[in-house]
């Protein structure tokens, strides 16, 4: 019998396995009569905050919102409310070009100016050197901008070099908002990401480590004033019902999604353990001859949202794997600064983005989801070995 095609991601596998739990939650929410915010959302917010803080710090506040893009926008708007930049200047926000476009879209939607910096060649996350150079450039050459925040993106589940980035933030009076959309459960020096900056933003897109059955997102913060501002912003700027204290938006988490997320949160540690064990198996089987597997730096715990390898013949490798029944994906085919919406107008670091440009055409994501069975992991790894053999013959 021909082997079935191994998909790159399969959110339906988790949802099918837990269907009876979702059915129960679905009936409970319908019976509750509360379909916007309310106790289901509050319960999930509290449990997710406690899970993030773990034993390493007192739990802060979690604010459930409609998606991960809104989470970033709301965090940036709240920062501007609490720490306004000098009048006549626009707030500058530093992030990477090698990210989901959502990070940069949210910065612009919040009325800030994105400045895109390069990445570190080993972890594919923000380069502190490129960040520092970009901040110095803005200070020297752009009197119209006021550096306000840095958004390090814990891409693929690998935490950024937060010690260095937070040090730069402190020296230049900028706050750190961690984009944790791909890093639920990743840790930096023993602390879960999202709890180290002034705020951490999350997406619960269905394929994420913690996914909803639709769109949802959240912001975590240990700062109660920021939490109050964000809570108001997600609902028309209300601090009191029907009275907008500040101009806000509508970005409320749906109680049905909150109930589903609460179920998946109970499975998250086991799901992340499964992802790490798949990554370890890939690591063990992949030959390094023509393929560079991902790294996990010693100070981090990788959440393996994605297992991304590097190959000079990426597209040929993807086609070779596809022929052998292995699905792959590319994250991302174009860095943000090269995409039509941004090319030529977005500000980039003074030395350009040479590592981003070198790395982007070589990245390929292998199948990675907790329900991926051992036999399929072996099939993927053996297809990679066959590729290596073919390349070296
Ligand atoms: C790094 C990153 N930031 C932000 C987002 C935005 O999340 P959402 O799709 O929930 O708006 C995503 C989701 O793809 C992401 O991967």
For 322, the domain range is: 268-392
CA of 263 to the centre of ligand 1 (A): 21
Does 234 share its domain with 344? Answer: no
Q: 102: Cβ below 6 Å to ligand 1?
A: yes
Looking from the CA of residue 204, the nearest atom of ligand 1 is 10
341/267 Cα distance (integer angstroms) = 38
Residue 17 lies in a domain: yes
CA of 179 to the centre of ligand 1 (A): 8
Positive/negative CA dihedral, 225, 230, 233, 239? negative
CA of 102 to the centre of ligand 1 (A): 6
Does 311 share its domain with 378? Answer: yes
Task: DSSP for 345-382, please give it.
Answer: TSEE-TT--HHHHHHGGGEEEEP--TT--HHHHHHHHH
Residue 202 — φ and ψ, nearest 5°? Answer: -130, 145
SS3 content of the chain, % helix, strand, coil (to 5): 45, 15, 40
Does 353 share its domain with 206? Answer: no
Residue 31 lies in a domain: yes
Q: 251: Cβ below 6 Å to ligand 1?
A: no
The Cα angle at residue 282 between residues 16 and 68, in degrees rounded to 5: 50
Q: Are 204 and 217 in contact (CB under 8 A)?
A: yes
Distances in whole angstroms, Cα of residue 43 to Cα of each of 18, 185, 263:
20, 19, 11
Q: 157: Cβ below 6 Å to ligand 1?
A: no
CA 180 from centre of chain = 4
Does 109 share its domain with 141? Answer: yes
The answer for residues whose C-beta is within 8 angstroms of residue 174's C-beta and 6 or more apart is 94, 135, 147, 148, 149, 150, 168
In 10 A of CB 333, how many CB atoms? 11
Residue 185 lies in a domain: yes
Does 110 share its domain with 234? Answer: yes
The C-alpha R_g of the chain, in whole angstroms, comes to: 21
Residue 3 lies in a domain: no
Does 218 share its domain with 315? Answer: no
Does 203 share its domain with 253? Answer: yes
State which of 227, 262, 297 marks the end of a domain.
262
Does 355 share its domain with 381? Answer: yes
Q: 220: Cβ below 6 Å to ligand 1?
A: no
Task: Report how many domains make up the chain.
Answer: 2
The answer for residues whose C-beta is within 8 angstroms of residue 206's C-beta and 6 or more apart is 11, 212, 213, 214
Residue 239 a catalytic site member: no
Choose, from 19, 89, 191, 208, the residue flagged as catalytic: 208
374/380 Cα distance (integer angstroms) = 10
Does 254 share its domain with 281? Answer: no
Cis geometry, peptide bond prior to residue 332 (ω within 30 degrees of 0): yes
Provide the residue-wise pLDDT of the chain in tens; the chain has 393 residues: 568 999 999 989 988 999 999 999 999 999 999 999 999 999 999 999 999 998 677 789 999 999 999 999 999 999 999 999 999 999 999 999 999 999 999 999 999 999 999 999 999 999 999 999 999 999 999 999 999 999 999 999 999 999 999 999 999 999 999 999 999 999 999 999 999 999 999 999 999 999 999 999 999 999 999 999 999 999 999 999 999 999 999 999 999 999 999 999 999 999 999 999 999 999 998 878 889 999 999 999 999 999 999 999 999 999 999 999 999 999 999 999 999 999 999 999 999 999 999 999 999 999 999 999 999 999 999 999 999 888 887
Select from 164, 193, 180, 162 the least CA-distant residue to 301: 193
State which of 221, 237, 262 marks the end of a domain.
262
State which of 208, 231, 262 marks the end of a domain.
262
Residue 375 lies in a domain: yes
The answer for residues whose C-beta is within 8 angstroms of residue 252's C-beta and 6 or more apart is 36, 37, 41, 64, 65, 66, 234, 235
CA of 386 to the centre of ligand 1 (A): 34
371/17 Cα distance (integer angstroms) = 9
Residue 4 lies in a domain: no
The CATH code of the domain that includes 308 is 3.90.1150.10
Does 198 share its domain with 322? Answer: no
Residue 277 — φ and ψ, nearest 5°? Answer: -75, -35
Q: Are 212 and 255 in contact (CB under 8 A)?
A: no
Residue 6 lies in a domain: no
Does 173 share its domain with 303? Answer: no
Query: What SS3 class is residue 187?
Result: strand
Does 155 share its domain with 220? Answer: yes
Q: Are 205 and 211 in contact (CB under 8 A)?
A: yes
Containing H/E element for 209?
Answer: none
Residue 8 lies in a domain: no
The CATH code of the domain that includes 72 is 3.40.640.10
């Amino acid at each position: 019998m021909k082997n079935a095609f191994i998909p790159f991601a399969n959110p339906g596998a988790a949802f099918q396995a837990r269907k009876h739990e979702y059915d129960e939650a679905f009936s409970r929410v319908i019976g509750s009569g509360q379909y916007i915010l309310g106790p289901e959302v509050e319960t999930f917010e509290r449990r997710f905050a406690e899970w993030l803080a773990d034993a390493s710090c007192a739990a802060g506040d979690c604010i459930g919102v409609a998606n991960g893009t809104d989470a970033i926008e709301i965090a940036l708007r709240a920062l501007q409310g609490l720490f306004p930049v000098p009048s006549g200047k626009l707030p500058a926000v530093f992030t990477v070009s090698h990210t989901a476009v959502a990070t940069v879209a949210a910065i612009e939607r919040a009325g800030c100016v994105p400045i895109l910096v390069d990445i570190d060649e080993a972890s594919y996350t923000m380069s502190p050197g490129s960040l520092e150079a970009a901040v110095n450039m803005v200070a020297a050459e752009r009197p119209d901008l006021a550096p306000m925040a840095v958004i390090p993106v814990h891409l693929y589940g690998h935490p950024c070099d937060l010690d260095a980035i937070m040090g730069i933030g402190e020296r230049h009076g900028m706050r750190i908002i961690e984009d944790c959309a791909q890093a639920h459960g990743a840790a930096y020096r023993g602390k879960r990401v999202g709890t180290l900056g002034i705020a951490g933003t999350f997406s619960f897109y269905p394929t994420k480590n913690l996914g909803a059955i639709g769109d949802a997102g959240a912001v975590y913060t240990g700062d109660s004033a920021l939490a109050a501002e964000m809570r108001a912003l997600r609902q028309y700027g209300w601090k009191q019902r029907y009275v907008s204290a500040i101009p806000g938006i509508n970005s409320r988490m749906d109680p049905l999604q909150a109930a589903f997320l609460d179920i998946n949160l109970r499975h998250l540690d086991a799901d992340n353990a499964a992802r790490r064990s798949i990554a370890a198996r890939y690591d063990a089987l992949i030959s390094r001859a023509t393929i560079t597997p991902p790294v996990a730096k010693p100070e981090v715990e990788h959440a393996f949202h994605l297992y991304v390898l590097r190959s000079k013949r990426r597209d040929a490798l993807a086609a070779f794997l596809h022929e052998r029944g292995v699905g792959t994906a590319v994250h991302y085919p174009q860095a943000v600064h090269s995409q039509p919406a941004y090319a030529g107008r977005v500000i980039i670091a003074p030395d350009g983005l040479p590592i981003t440009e070198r790395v982007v055409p070589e990245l390929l994501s292998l199948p990675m989801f907790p329900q991926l069975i051992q036999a399929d992991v072996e099939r993927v790894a053996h297809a990679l070995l066959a590729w290596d053999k073919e390349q070296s013959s």
